[in-house]
Amino acid sequence: MPTFTAFTKLPSQRAAEALGEAMEDMWPEPTGVGVFEIEDGSGIWEVGGYFTETPDPVELALLAVAFQAKPFVVSEVPDTDWVDKVRRELTPVVAGRFFVYGSHDADKIPEESEPLLIEAAMAFGTGHHGTTQGCLEALDRLDADGFRGKSVADIGCGTAVLAMAAARIWPNPVIASDIDAVAVEVAQANVDANDLHDRVTCVEAAGFDAPALAQAAPYDLIFANILKQPLIDLAPQMASSLTDSGHAILSGILTRQADEVIEVYRQNGINLVRQDVIGDWVTLTLRK
């Protein structure tokens, strides 16, 4: 079945969100609508819809004019077996002692590594992205320096690869949360596949807003691999949720955004210990 996409750009979040809501009433109706801030510091937002039939160009043009958006760009996406494509193209990742792999590479697990199985269908956050790899390497380095996490949270966990990595090397339970219900389901599936269901608890939550997170606080290590603005918004809650001398490992930050995030966290009493760059992305290790 063919898939069609229709994307446009707007200069404000309010207009972008309003346009996204209006697109949901289109006919033929979209199978999904996304609203995203372009993370280049420009303040531009992107709105996109996915369709199984060609979207009405007149309706798209009217929407663009009504919300002062750029003209929509419509494309047909080739019918592709994405799981098979990802399986063929994703190779295992080594990040410190951690070996992140799909089941098709189970015969390649090195001795004395800490293996983490993430299936190709759940590829986002496997370690192939510089942010996840950076966080895994920061975790490995903390452990090598003698730190032992007794209470660990993974905020915005995605596939829960970071939570699982902590559970692999330390004996205490880890809590993983995400704002997206599908991500929580993916995280739980990965936790089960890695036989860590008794070590990692997955919950749906926005930031720290869940009873399970509050009950387990304070934490001596918090992961947050999300995006710049959510990280900035979380800084006060992060500070109140960390133990004295607790650590935070943050990523999802472009290199040009690092100084702003570092300063906001410094103002909240969480100070930079180290920053590491992989490609365009920065991983920050901080300490309260």
pLDDT at residue 233, rounded to an integer:
93
Model confidence at 16, pLDDT cuts 50, 70, 90, reads: very high
Q: Nearest CA to 286 among 236, 241, 248?
A: 248
128-287 matches 3-77 in CATH topology: no
Residue 80 has pLDDT above 90, yes or no: no
Residues linked to residue 38 through DSSP beta bridges, in sequence order: none
Q: Would you place residue 42 in the very low, low, confident or very high pLDDT band (cuts 50, 70, 90)? A: confident
pLDDT in the model for residue 160:
93
Rounded mean pLDDT, 185-210 = 92
What pLDDT does 124 receive? 45
* Residue 58 CB contacts under 8 Å (≥ 6 apart), including other chains: none
The confidence score (pLDDT) of residue 1 equals: 64
Q: How far apart are CA 45 and CA 263, in angstroms?
A: 25
Residue-wise pLDDT tens digits, 245-267: 999 999 989 888 999 999 999 99
The winner for highest mean pLDDT among 1-5, 75-79, 158-162 is: 158-162
Please state, in angstroms and as integers, the Cα–Cα distance from residue 280 to each residue in 40, 98, 126, 258, following that order.
11, 22, 18, 11
For the segment 217-223, the average pLDDT, to the nearest whole number, is: 97
pLDDT of the residue at 269: 97
Long-range contacts of 189-195 (CB under 8 A, 24+ apart): 189/122, 190/117, 190/118, 190/119, 190/122, 190/159, 190/160, 190/161, 190/164, 191/160, 191/163, 191/164, 193/117, 193/119, 194/116, 194/117, 194/164
Give the model confidence (pLDDT) of 92-116 as tens digits: 888 899 998 877 777 888 888 999 9
Joined tokens for residue 42: 């420009």
pLDDT score at 129: 66
What pLDDT sits at residue 126? Answer: 46
Which tops the pLDDT comparison, 29 or 287? 287
The secondary structure of the chain in percent helix, strand, coil, rounded to multiples of 5, reads 40, 30, 30
Fold that domain 3-77 belongs to in CATH: Alpha-Beta Plaits (3.30.70)
CA distances from 111 to 79, 108, 141, 153, 175 (A): 39, 9, 19, 28, 28
pLDDT score at 143: 97
All structural domains of the chain with their residue ranges:
3-77, 128-287
pLDDT at 125 over 70: no
Name the CA radius of gyration of the chain, rounded.
20
d(CA 56, CA 262): 46
**Three-state DSSP class for residue 259:** helix
The span from the CA of 167 to the CA of 223, in Å, is: 13
Average pLDDT, the chain: 88
What is the domain class of 128-287 according to CATH?
alpha beta
**CA distance linking residue 262 with residue 281, whole number of Å:** 14
Res 224: pLDDT: 96
17, pLDDT greater than 80: yes
pLDDT of 283? 96
What whole-number distance in Å separates Cα of residue 95 and Cα of residue 14?
39
Query: CB under 8 Å to 82, separation ≥6 — which residues?
Result: none
pLDDT at position 82, please?
Answer: 46
Cis peptide before 218 (omega within 30 of 0): yes
CB 147: neighbour CB atoms within 10 A?
15
Check residue 88 and give its pLDDT: 52
Instruction: State yes or no: pLDDT of 122 exceeds 50.
Output: no
pTM (predicted TM-score) = 0.72
